[in-house]
Amino acid sequence: MAVEYDEFSMFHENAEEYGIPYDGPPTVRRVATQLDDGRQLSSLVWGEGEPEYFFLHGGAQNAHTWDTVALALGCPLVCVDLPGHGHSGPGRDGSLDVHANAEDLATVVRALAPEAKAIIGMSLGGMTSIALAGIAPELVRRLVLVDVTPTIDPERSAHIGAFVSGPESFDSFDELLERTCAFNPTRSVSSMRRGILHNAVQRDDGTWVWRYARFRAEDAGKGPSMEGLSPLWHVVSELTMPLLLARGMRQQSVVGDEDVAELLRRKPDAVVVEFADSGHSIQGDEPVELAETIRRFAP
């Protein structure tokens, strides 16, 4: 049985679950940005004015992961689907190359949010944001990293790899929901349901596949490695804009004490904010608190 999906129809659920005042559907539209090689990247543009913030999601996610944060902020902003994710086209060299992604994202930021007060990136999006700050610092007035540094600890990130590398397709929506809830025991079933509807698609034969799985073959063996990410520490050392690290403190976080220490060694004026009730996806665990932190950091 087909499951109906309207990506703009569920914002009231986000608001209700997190106690955000809601007086009707927000103004949100999907915009495609053409790249110089013919590929397109898709974004959600919130509001009518000049975007104040630009958001990049994590690997295997999509722009809708920021919905509750966007509702809590209540201002114009942009949430992009990274290359190979959501409604965007493929990456220049797979979906996980943070340096190629940064070059693509520079085009999107210039087109949609050139005056953004802050770039906010989570996980893969955070590493891409660091690379973006390195090649186009004029676009990154302030940088917010959500539970990520240029270090990937295989043990801390094992649970993420286990989930992402799961079955390529699912016989039913319920099967997909059950597996997702098992990997996210602290999240509500309703939030997991919304997340799946935004991040998966039902094929003509009734089976379900993750949107990012469309590019899984070309990404095989191309996950971010320390060899590819270690130069990002050098970028951090050279950053002049204010930087904030939002760190989840639950077991699912991928940031350790040694990562925070290295960040502060490289950039002593960086601000670190700990989220006691969050794992890796702070935007899903404590979205209102994250929004308040972003607003204070980049008013």
CA atoms within 13 A on the CB side of 204: 0
Cα–Cα distance measured from residue 85 to residue 7, given in angstroms and rounded to the nearest whole number: 15
Helix (H) or strand (E) holding 31: strand 28-34
67 catalytically annotated: no
The two beta strands, 118-122 and 200-202, are: unpaired
Question: 121 — alpha (psi -120 to 50), left (phi > 0) or beta?
Answer: beta
**d(Cα 143, Cα 35) in Å, to the nearest integer?**
24
Which listed residue (88, 280, 281, 285) is catalytic? 280
Whole-number Å distance between alpha carbons of 54 and 98 = 17
Residues 83, 94: Cα–Cα separation, whole Å: 8
Q: Which residues have CB under 8 Å from 50's CB, separation 6+?
A: 76, 113, 115
Shortest CA distance to 32 belongs to which of 130, 132, 104?
Answer: 104
Told to judge if 123 belongs to the known catalytic residues of this protein, a careful annotator would answer yes
Do 87 and 94 meet the contact criterion of CB atoms below 8 Å apart?
A: no
Phi, psi at 163, each rounded to 5°: -75, -50
* Marked catalytic residue, from 67, 147, 259, 285: 147
User: Is 12 a known active-site residue?
Assistant: no
Beta-bridge partner residues of 274: 247
Alpha helices (runs of H) in 84-184, residue ranges in sequence order: 98-112, 124-135, 158-164, 173-183
Catalytic residue among 88, 95, 123, 278: 123
Instruction: Kindly list the catalytic residues.
Output: 123, 147, 280
